[in-house]
A = this chain, B = another copy of it.
Amino acid sequence: MAKATSPDANAQSNEPALPIEPTLPNEPTLPEKPARPDRPTSFDIAYRAGVSQSTVSRALRDSPLVNKATRDRVQAIAKELNYKVDKVASNLRSQSTRTIALLLCEDPTSDDSMINPFFMSMLSSITRATARQGYDLLVSFQQLSEDWHADYEDTHRADGIILLGYGDYVSARPKLEKLKQAQARFMLWGPLIKDLPGHSIGCDNHLGGYVAGTHLLDSGRQQLAFLGDASQHCPEFRQRYLGYTDAITQRQLTFNPRLQYDAENTEMSGFDACLQLIDSGEPFDALMAASDLIAIGAIKAMQQRGLRVPEDVAVVGFDGIPSSAYVNPPLTTVMQDTQAAGDLLVDNLFKQFHGEPLTTTLLEPKLVVRESSGGTPDSSPQ
């Protein structure tokens, strides 16, 4: 509609631009969709301003090529008509989307109603970092089993992808290969595995495990247990485990492998694993869980079996999820810096866009001592 008047506007450009309403009265109303007012186009602005559409485009992008007076006039008219550049059109033309896709992979086994709280913090910080760059963020929850491949990039919906929660890199690898092969720009949150396709930002899990182990040993504990899958399938858990046992070995002590039970990153799994551990009869006076969720489940299991935390067993978790401060007793944990993580993921994605070299630092986790490991109540937040 509005469009139709534009050619006329150019034809009679000798005439001064009059503020004629560019919408026609005989607008066809679709029965299916409710009527929407016609979005004004850059041609409408051009007509009103008495300049060419190209000039409108330049003026709105603050191009120095355009005369200041012209620019101001165009911008004023655009504002008056509440005109906004159509992102879809400008994206098509300029071949960029100014959008990042965040793919959150949920473990199919986890509770459907609840996202891993750790990822929530990441989401929050990624959203902020993305917005700071003037980019939009597309969020999608995926199952590892789904065939997402490079979909977001292939379909040109995003300039780059951030992958979260692809913890089991054995099964994700072929998909990552495919992404890499398509020269998609993506960043991975997770462990730094050699010859893993793509770039990762991750936490120094080994250090985190080491710090946790050292803390427990410093507290006088001797029989240290570990809950969490330490296999190659969970490289992050494995690194935590290795750091933990290194702390033990360094003191000339030996980690008792019968004090390790596999667990997935859920409370339920931690609960079950801990029951197994307790019921095995093997004595232990300290426990590191590979995640806070596992730790929370484990504490419940101990309480159910009449073990006191921290008197009988000192417990340390990993992640620093918000709940960790609220459980009973408040959980000592190895806190990950999700703020820095989100920033780095986004920054490095932009570096890929600009062909700059990436900074793949390991983030240093921080031990937060609370009551579950015998810390003073004061050290809990608030």
When chains A and B are docked, how far (Å) is the Cα of A88 from the Cα of B94?
11
Residue interface mask A258-270, B partner, CB < 8 A = 1: 0000000001100
Residue among B84, B113, B139, B156 making CB contact with A87, cutoff 8 Å: B156
A296 and B88 in contact (CB under 8 A), knowing A33-B354, A136-B157, A138-B138? no
Contact of A296 among B34, B89, B326 (CB under 8 A): B326
| Interface mask (A121-133 → B, CB under 8 Å = 1, otherwise 0) | 1011101100100
Chain A interface: which size bin?
35 or more
Which residues of the partner chain B approach A139 to less than 8 Å between Cβ atoms? 123, 127, 137-139
Q: Within 8 Å of chain B (Cβ to Cβ): is A172?
A: no
The verdict on A115 contacting chain B, using a C-beta distance below 8 Å, is yes
CB-CB contacts of A318-338 with B at 8 A, as 1s and 0s? 000011001111000000001
| Pick from B120, B137, B271, B354: contact of A115, CB under 8 Å | B120
Of A113, A297, A300, the most chain B CB neighbours within 10 A belong to A113
Q: Please indicate the chain B residues that have their CB under 8 angstroms from the CB of A86 in the complex.
A: 92, 155-156
Comparing A7-15, A35-43, A233-241, A361-369, the segment that makes contact with chain B is A35-43
Interface residue ranges of A268-306 to B (CB < 8 Å): 268, 271, 296-297, 300
Closest to A322 in B: B114
Chain B residues with CB under 8 A of A84: 151, 154-156
A222 at the interface (CB under 8 A from B): no
Q: Roughly how many angstroms separate A124 CA and B110 CA in the complex, as a whole number?
A: 13
A121, A136, A183, A297: most-surrounded residue (chain B CB, <10 A): A136
| Cα distance, A296 to B354, chains bound together (Å) | 46
B113 in contact with A37 (CB, 8 Å): no
Residues in B with CB closer than 8 Å to A92 are 86, 88-89, 92
Q: How far is the CB of A153 from chain B (nearest CB, A)?
A: 9
Residue in B35, B113, B141, B354 whose beta carbon sits within 8 Å of that of A127 in the complex:
B141
B residues in contact with A328, CB < 8 Å: 326-329
Is residue A82 contacting chain B, with contact meaning CB distance below 8 A?
yes
Interface class of chain A by DSSP = mixed
Asked whether B268 lies within 8 Å of A382 as measured between CB atoms, the reply is yes
* Contact status A39-B156, CB under 8 Å: yes
CB < 8 Å neighbour of A114 from B35, B113, B124, B141: B124
Contact among B88, B113, B125, B151 for A339, CB-based, below 8 A: B113
Q: Which chain B residues lie closer than 8 Å to A300 at the CB level?
A: 382
Chain B nearest CB from A30 CB (Å) reads 8
A355 within 8 A of B: yes
With A and B bound together, what is the CA distance between A308 and B53 in angstroms?
A: 71
Output the least CB separation between A159 and chain B (Å).
Answer: 10
Taking A128-B141, A322-B323 as known contacts, 17 extra A-B pairs with beta carbons closer than 8 A to each other, sorted by chain A number, are A31-B355, A32-B355, A33-B355, A34-B355, A39-B154, A99-B138, A113-B124, A113-B339, A127-B140, A137-B138, A137-B139, A139-B139, A268-B382, A296-B326, A300-B382, A323-B326, A326-B327
24 examples of A-B residue contacts, CB within 8 angstroms: A33-B353, A33-B355, A37-B182, A37-B183, A84-B151, A85-B155, A86-B92, A88-B88, A88-B91, A92-B92, A113-B125, A113-B338, A113-B339, A115-B124, A117-B120, A123-B123, A123-B139, A127-B141, A136-B157, A139-B139, A271-B382, A322-B323, A327-B328, A328-B329
